[in-house]
Structure formats: structure tokens, C-alpha cells
């Protein structure tokens, strides 16, 4: 026997046709490569709180009080640690856009394209009749900032008084003649003002002029809600449809492995795209979701998981049990609070859980698919996978299955193996041989509700002559 290891610790690569792929991974869904180079199943979703209606839920954690606020169907709720909610809505949120949150010294402030709303933890009120209609708000050094919707300007309130807005306190982001569609303040006290064609950085000044422009980047932001601070920089989707790490005037693309997919998404499908950071098992991730983008499965809603440290990507999907096909990952927003990762969905708040691997009541399908491996005639006499066993209960055994495509002709039948009841020792699973050919592609899949860690894949390969 000649066991040949197959590298599963490599990255997902979607920048060429799959038949051309000779290394890397063709697919990794609802999983990620952990620090040990293993395929680790992504946590499932369990219900944390139910809210009235079935509209999308967006979340924010107040950094001082640790309270979680939720916006759904223009109403504002406060959620406690046990998932109980209180409706705080006196003035509903208007504008119809994705809510953007910030906080002043004593209240949170929310914008969604209409009147800016404030909330002191009791009831919501319109911030000020003089404040602009805005899609984005931010706060720095006791000054509240907001973009003027559908214009190239951003305004600010008086120092220490978020409810007083002088119509002369306006700045024009004029490095390029485009609208201001996003504003963010970083922990480095940088104010980034973005539009479809440019990004400008402003810094604080003392005196009558509170800000000055330090530099510009000659590329814009195509997805206004994709700006997120992580790893000492702002990550976002630029006007070239690249996911970039933006630091000072340097824009570093980090989406080269999936650039072909991102560049093929039409511009109008990027407007609702968003990104958010969070941690799972000590690894930092950014979720990038493009809800209107087409998927390879014929539906809508692409969701990518980006490993910040290792610059690796994977996909997240939900599951349609009636059609038995993947659908959009059922999350609209992410918030780390109450020692949990909370996820806003439609009329519900989920909690990511490493114990249940279903998305609420629907299965979560984990798959991995290799490149087309090999370039000479060989016979695969056997294959084996090293995997954590004993992940079932005392009465049931979950099943993992594998199949193989030889010379890109057709997939073999699935070969199923059991993962063992509770207490079963970790071992290698043998899946048998898959015949003779010049190149092979392997795929594995699991739908059962159990933890899965794939630690290695090997094939027993023997060279043959034609």
C-alpha cells in the first residue's frame, strides 16, 4: 500500500473553472479550516429570542451597559440576557434602509435613511428636526456625525450636544464628485467618509473647524454596509468589487481566491451587502453576505466566511429540506453580547451554538470538495479519512458519506460510513477504491446533527499503464 496524503488544510479557490483546479479546495461549506489544519464544522443556530412579526432583525450591543438593542420592522427593542424583549418604540425608525448604530455618552443613535432616532434605554425619539436624513451615523470626541442622504456632504452636531445641528456645520467630501454613502469612526480616531468613487480620511482638530481631511483613496465603496474594523484596519468591498483591507492610504485586496465570483456580481446586487466580525473557538472571522447575489444552486444569497488571520475563505448556506438544496444562510446581522454570538434573522434572534449543528429546525449541510488531483494513470485501491469519532448519542450513529469523480466524467455513488456512538474512539474510516483514471476529485458531506472534525484524507494510489 502507498498511502498518499491529500492536502485539506489549503484554501478555498474559486477564481478558475473547477476542472482547472489542481490544488486548493473547490468547495468548503458550513465549515472552516482551524488552527490545526482540520476541517471544523461551523456552529449551528438555536433560538435566543423571538420578536413580533417576521421582518429582518438587526442588532447592536451598547458597550457601556452591555444591553442588546434590536431593530425590526422600524421598531426598536431592548433584549436582556435571557432573551426577553421590551418594545421601546415611541418614534419608529424611518427610511427603509439597513440600520446603522452608534452611541453617545448617554444614548444610542440609529439611522436608516430617514430621521435619525435616539434612545436613552427608555423610549425612542427623533434626534432633532434639524439633523439630516441619514443612512450612517458615527461618534467621535463628543461630536455626532451623519451623512446627508443622496448628497456629497456630511454634517455634524454641536460639540457635546447631539440634538443641536447648525446648517453651516457641513463638510463636502469632494475628492470625487459622488454621494457620501458610508461613514465610520475607527478605534484609531480616524473618520472614514466613503462614496462609490472615493474614500476620504478626516482627523480631529481643536477649534472652530473640528475636522480636516488627511488623505484620500482613489477607489470607492460599492457596498456601503460592508465597512467593518478588524485587525487594525477597515475591511470593505471597494468599487472594483474586491474585499480589501484598508489602512491609511493602502488598500490591500484579500479576496483574490474568490475574485472571479465577486467581480461577476452586478453592481445593483451589492447595495444590501454587509459584513461583521466575530469569534468562534478563538479564531476571528468576518462574515460577508451579499443577499441579492445568485448562488451556484440557483437561489439568491451568497455568504462568505473570512478567516482574518489565515486569509482563507469558506461558504455558509442554509438548507431547504423540501427541495434538498442549499439556500441563503439565515442571518441578517451579528452581535457579540452576553458571552454569545447573537445573529439577527427574520423575526428571531439566533445564538451560534457549538453543540447543536442545525440552523434552528433545519439541517446544516457540511461539505468539502477537493481539486482534480493527479496527472498520470493511477488506480485508487482505497481511501481513508481521519475523523473525530464518537459524536453520536448512546443509541444513534451519525453518518458521513464520500464520493469520487474520475477524469471529470461523473460522480460515483455515495459511500457511507458511521461516526460512532458516544464513547467510540477516534479512528480512520475506510471508503474503498474508486477505480482507475488520470485525475480524481473527492467530495464528502454530512447532514446529521453532530460535531464534525475532519483531520486528514489519504488515498492508496498505484501507478498503472494504459
Secondary structure of the chain as H, E, C letters? CCEEEECCCCCECCCCCHHHCCCCEEEEECEEECCCCCEEECCEEEEEEECCCCCEEEEEECCCCCCEEEEECCEEEEECCCCCEEECCCCCCCCCCCCEEEECCCCEEEECCCCCEEECCCCEEECCCCCCCCCCEEEECCEEEEECCCCCEEEECECCECCCCCCCCEEECCCCCCCCCEEEECCCCCEEEECCCCEEEEEECCCCCCEEEEEEECCCECCCECCEEECCEEEEEECCCCEEEEECCEEEECCHHHHHHHHCCCHHHHCCCEEEEEEECCEEEEEEEEEEEECCCCCEEEEEEEECCCCEEEECCEEECCCCEEECCCCCEEEEECCEEEEECECEEEEEECCCCEECCEECCEEEEECCECCCCEEEEEEEEEECCCCCCCCCCCEEEEEEEECCCCECCCEEEECCCCCCCCEEEECCCCEEECCEEEEEEECCCCCCEEEEEEEEEEECCC
Closest by CA position to 169, among listed 152, 184, 156, 182 = 156
- Cell numbers placing 330: 439565515
Count of CB atoms within 10 A of residue 395's CB? 7
Count of CB atoms within 10 A of residue 373's CB? 19
> Which CATH number describes the domain made up of 3-42+367-463?
2.60.120.260
Q: What are phi and psi of 263, to 5 degrees?
A: -70, -20
CA distance 18 to 26: 6
- Cell numbers placing 46: 438555536
Q: Does this model's pTM top 0.85?
A: yes
Domain ranges of the chain: 3-42+367-463
Dihedral over Cα of 350, 353, 355, 356: its sign: positive
Count of CB atoms within 10 A of residue 147's CB? 29
- Cell numbers placing 82: 435571557
- Cell numbers placing 361: 429546525
**Tens digit of pLDDT at every position of the chain (466 positions):** 689 999 999 999 999 999 999 999 999 999 999 999 999 999 999 999 999 999 999 999 999 889 999 999 999 999 999 999 999 999 999 999 999 999 998 899 999 999 999 999 999 999 999 999 999 999 999 999 999 999 999 999 999 999 999 988 888 866 567 899 999 999 999 999 999 999 999 998 877 788 888 888 889 999 999 999 999 999 999 999 999 999 888 899 999 999 999 999 999 999 999 999 999 999 999 999 999 999 999 999 999 999 999 999 999 999 999 999 999 999 999 999 999 999 999 999 999 998 889 998 899 999 999 999 988 899 999 999 999 888 878 788 899 999 999 999 999 999 999 998 888 887 799 999 999 999 999 999 999 999 999 999 999 998 887 6
Amino acid at each position: 500500500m502507498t498511502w498518499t496524503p491529500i492536502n485539506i488544510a489549503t484554501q478555498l479557490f474559486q477564481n478558475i473553472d473547477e476542472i482547472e483546479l489542481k490544488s486548493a479546495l473547490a468547495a468548503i461549506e458550513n465549515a472552516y479550516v482551524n488552527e490545526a489544519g482540520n476541517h471544523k464544522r461551523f456552529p449551528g443556530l438555536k433560538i435566543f429570542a423571538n420578536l413580533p412579526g417576521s421582518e429582518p432583525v438587526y442588532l447592536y450591543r451598547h458597550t457601556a451597559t452591555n444591553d442588546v438593542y434590536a431593530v425590526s420592522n422600524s421598531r426598536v427593542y431592548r433584549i436582556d440576557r435571557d432573551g426577553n424583549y421590551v418594545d421601546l418604540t415611541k418614534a419608529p425608525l424611518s427610511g427603509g434602509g439597513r440600520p446603522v448604530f452608534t452611541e453617545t455618552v448617554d444614548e444610542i443613535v440609529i439611522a436608516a435613511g430617514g430621521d435619525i432616532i435616539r434612545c436613552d434605554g427608555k423610549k425612542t425619539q427623533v434626534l432633532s428636526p434639524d439633523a439630516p436624513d441619514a443612512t450612517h451615523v458615527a461618534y467621535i470626541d463628543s461630536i455626532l456625525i451623519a451623512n446627508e442622504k443622496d448628497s456629497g456632504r456630511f454634517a455634524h452636531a454641536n460639540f457635546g450636544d447631539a440634538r443641536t445641528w447648525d446648517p453651516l456645520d457641513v463638510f463636502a467630501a469632494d475628492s470625487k464628485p459622488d454621494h457620501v454613502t458610508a461613514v465610520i469612526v475607527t478605534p484609531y480616531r480616524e473618520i472614514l467618509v466613503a462614496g462609490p468613487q472615493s474614500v476620504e480620511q478626516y482627523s480631529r482638530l481643536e477649534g472652530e473647524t473640528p475636522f480636516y481631511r488627511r488623505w484620500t483613496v482613489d477607489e470607492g465603496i460599492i457596498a456601503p454596509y460592508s465597512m467593518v474594523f478588524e485587525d487594525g484596519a477597515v475591511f470593505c468591498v471597494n468599487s472594483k468589487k474586491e474585499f480589501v483591507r484598508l489602512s491609511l492610504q493602502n488598500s490591500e485586496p484579500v479576496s483574490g481566491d474568490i475574485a472571479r465570483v465577486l467581480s461577476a456580481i452586478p453592481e445593483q446586487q451589492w447595495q444590501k451587502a454587509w459584513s461583521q466580525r466575530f469569534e468562534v473557538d478563538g479564531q476571528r472571522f468576518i462574515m460577508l453576505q451579499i443577499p441579492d447575489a445568485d448562488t451556484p444552486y440557483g437561489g439568491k444569497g451568497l455568504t462568505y466566511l473570512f478567516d482574518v488571520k489565515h486569509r482563507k475563505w469558506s461558504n455558509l448556506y442554509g438548507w431547504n429540506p423540501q427541495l434538498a438544496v442549499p439556500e441563503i444562510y439565515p442571518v441578517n446581522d451579528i452581535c457579540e453580547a452576553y458571552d454569545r454570538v447573537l445573529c439577527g434573522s427574520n423575526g428571531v434572534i439566533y445564538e451560534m451554538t457549538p453543540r447543536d449543528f442545525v440552523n434552528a429546525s433545519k439541517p446544516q449541510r457540511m461539505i468539502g470538495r477537493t481539486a482534480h488531483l493527479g496527472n498520470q494513470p493511477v488506480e485508487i485501491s482505497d481511501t481513508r479519512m481521519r475523523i473525530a469519532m464518537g459524536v453520536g448519542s448512546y443509541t444513534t450513529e451519525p453518518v458521513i458519506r464520500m464520493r469520487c469523480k474520475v477524469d471529470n466524467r461523473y460522480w460515483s455513488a455515495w459511500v457511507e460510513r458511521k461516526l460512532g456512538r458516544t464513547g467510540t474512539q477516534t479512528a480512520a474510516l475506510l471508503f474503498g477504491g474508486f477505480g482507475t483514471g488520470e485525475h480524481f476529485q473527492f467530495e464528502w458531506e454530512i447532514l446529521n446533527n453532530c460535531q464534525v472534525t475532519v483531520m486528514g484524507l489519504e488515498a492508496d494510489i498505484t501507478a498503472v499503464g494504459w
